[in-house]
């Protein structure tokens, strides 16, 4: 009888193996596959290699497979051919194989250790030992620093112009200059940019002039938007920089759609979209990440986590370990970087761009930084943040000063060059502001153009009503707008 049973089992096992219903794998190999890749990408500085993206991230075939499974079935996984009574069950489910367990175990709401933050330069501008980063040339480094100084100076001038009543509104990028310039430096002009409202440095890097910035802030006839937008809502077709929208996170789904278009056209380019930590509280953020992952589009989601959504701290926005961990929930490769380290920003965006295009996948970058300035000229951040905290970030963590120390240590910069640069930028800005202020405003009629070929009756009625209102109350409207 025993011989018959053994023979029957052998025959059955042979037949099942041939038709592919069962896989003979050991329990140890099964659990090895389940525990593999537990640590998040870039969780250890020692494991990083920005120049070799495949060395930094998990095996794409294991975690990011786009295969669709045609059936749902249970497979028996035997410890060995001779042990058929004890097995581990595996569910072949859409998305990959899932192991069953007899232990009731909930996934923890938070990791044992927070996701690590990639950096290259320490606070004194010195290279961290064994740092792995994308090398930059002397020419590139000097341009990066020059644009960071220009952006910093531009913020100071336009902020004061608003305080003097010469422009209506302004928002600075103080403390976030490295995010602006270094990320832009890692892209190409063919890459599309969907900004929030704190990334004018990306446009500056691409060649938008100080005069063009001034024209937009003053809303004159030379402004690309014909004075329809409030200040700092820049846009430029020539520079592939989509016009800023004040509504939070609405640019994210748009960016995914644009990236899908690049994918269909087989373009050697990607999309980058910027947003703050507050943007992750919007539904558009979650919809965009999910769509980008499912459609596998070349888009970089760049989150400036500066700790505050106007006066709302991140502790009132989410309980997760920041934003970087949200990427894994949607199947998106992610990294956390030091937002005040220009080399870390440049290296991570450069690597993200390569992966986004070559592998046709979305990437999420969370940059930890601090908004040193007020949210805007309509805000007083000292009402909800300690002044000494602001000053500490302004002095000890200034990204511009940190990068300057690095280029000086390389012999690429000196005090004379610094003085010359700052004087030149100040002169150009004063001239740009004075000229923009003298240019007349766009005529009132421009408010109603460039949307419809033939304006509908309700729009024509609105224009008529506006003109009548201005004629009745001229003292309530600016005198320099041609009627």
Query: How far apart (Å, rounded) are the C-alpha atoms in residues 152 and 146?
Result: 10
Catalytic residue among 371, 385, 402, 404: 371
Going by C-alpha positions, the residue among 155, 212, 177 that lies closest to residue 402 is: 177
Question: If DSSP codes are grouped into helix, strand and coil, which group holds residue 127?
Answer: strand
Burial class (CB in 10 A: 0-12, 13-18, 19+), 202: buried
**What size, in residues, is the chain?**
483
Catalytic residue among 36, 114, 163, 384: 384
Query: How far apart (Å, rounded) are the C-alpha atoms in residues 166 and 162?
Result: 6
Is residue 467 annotated as a catalytic residue, yes or no? no
Helix (H) and strand (E) counts for the chain?
A: 16, 10
The distance from CA 136 to its chain's CA centroid, rounded to whole angstroms, is: 21
Helix or strand holding residue 146 (H, E): helix 138-163
Is residue 266 annotated as a catalytic residue, yes or no? no
Q: Helix H segments across 107-137?
A: none
Catalytic residue among 353, 375, 385, 402: 375
Positive or negative: CA dihedral 252, 271, 404, 116: positive
Q: How many CB atoms lie within 10 A of CB 434?
A: 10
Residue 131, token pair as written in the block: 């740092």
**Tokens 């499912």 label which residue?**
294
Answer whether 345's CB lies under 8 Å from 182's CB: yes
Residue 391, token pair as written in the block: 């000053």
Distance in Å from the first CA to the final CA of the chain: 105
Residue 269, token pair as written in the block: 């380019």
Is residue 384 annotated as a catalytic residue, yes or no? yes
Contacts 24+ apart (CB under 8 A), 464-471: 470/444
In sequence order, what are the residues at sequence separation of 6 or more whose Cβ sits closer than 8 angstroms to the Cβ of residue 53?
351, 354, 355
In sequence order, what are the residues at sequence separation of 6 or more whose Cβ sits closer than 8 angstroms to the Cβ of residue 209?
432
Going by C-alpha positions, the residue among 323, 276, 299, 307 that lies closest to residue 397 is: 307
Question: If DSSP codes are grouped into helix, strand and coil, which group holds residue 208?
Answer: coil
Active site residues: 371, 375, 384
């Amino acid at each position: 009888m025993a011989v018959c049973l053994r023979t029957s089992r052998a025959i059955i096992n042979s037949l099942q193996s041939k038709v592919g219903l069962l896989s003979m794998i050991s329990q140890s190999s099964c659990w090895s596959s389940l525990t593999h890749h537990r640590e998040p990408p870039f969780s250890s500085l020692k494991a990083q290699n920005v120049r070799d993206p495949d060395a930094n991230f998990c095996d794409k075939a294991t975690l990011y497979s786009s295969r669709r499974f045609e059936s749902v079935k249970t497979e028996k996984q035997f410890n060995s051919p001779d042990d058929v009574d004890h097995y581990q069950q595996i569910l072949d489910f859409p998305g990959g194989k899932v192991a069953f367990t007899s232990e009731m175990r909930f996934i923890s709401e938070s990791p044992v250790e927070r996701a690590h933050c990639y950096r290259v330069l320490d606070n004194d501008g010195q290279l961290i030992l064994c740092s792995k980063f994308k090398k930059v040339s002397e020419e590139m480094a000097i341009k990066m620093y020059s644009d960071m100084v220009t952006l910093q100076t531009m913020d100071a001038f336009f902020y004061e112009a608003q305080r003097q009543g010469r422009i209506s509104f302004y928002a600075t990028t103080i403390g976030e200059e490295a995010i602006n310039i270094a990320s832009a430096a890692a892209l190409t002009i063919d890459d599309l940019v969907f900004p929030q409202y704190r990334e004018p440095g990306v446009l500056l890097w691409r060649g938008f002039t100080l005069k063009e910035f001034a024209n937009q802030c003053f809303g004159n006839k030379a402004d690309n938007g014909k004075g329809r937008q409030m200040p700092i809502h820049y846009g430029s077709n020539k520079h592939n920089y989509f016009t800023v929208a004040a509504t939070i996170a609405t640019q994210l789904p748009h960016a995914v759609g644009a990236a899908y278009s690049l994918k269909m056209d087989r373009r050697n380019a990607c999309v980058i979209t910027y947003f703050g930590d507050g943007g992750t509280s919007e539904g558009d953020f979650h919809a965009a990440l999910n769509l980008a992952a499912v459609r596998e589009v070349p888009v970089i989601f760049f989150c400036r986590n500066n700790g505050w959504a106007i006066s709302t701290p991140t502790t009132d926005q989410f309980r997760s370990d920041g934003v970087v961990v949200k990427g894994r929930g949607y199947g998106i490769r992610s990294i956390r970087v030091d937002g005040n380290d220009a080399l870390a920003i440049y290296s991570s965006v450069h690597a993200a761009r390569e992966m986004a295009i070559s592998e046709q996948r979305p990437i999420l970058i969370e940059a930890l930084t601090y908004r040193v300035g007020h949210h805007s000229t309509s805000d007083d951040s000292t009402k909800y943040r300690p002044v000494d905290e602001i000053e500490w970030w302004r002095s000890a963590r200034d990204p511009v000063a940190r990068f300057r120390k690095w280029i000086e240590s390389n012999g690429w910069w000196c005090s004379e060059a610094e003085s010359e640069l700052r004087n030149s930028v100040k002169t150009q800005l004063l001239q740009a502001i004075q000229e923009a202020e003298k240019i007349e405003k766009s005529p009132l009629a421009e408010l109603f153009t460039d949307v419809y070929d033939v304006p509908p009756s309700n729009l024509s009625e609105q224009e008529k009503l506006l003109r009548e209102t201005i004629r009745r109350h001229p003292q309530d409207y600016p005198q320099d707008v041609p009627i």
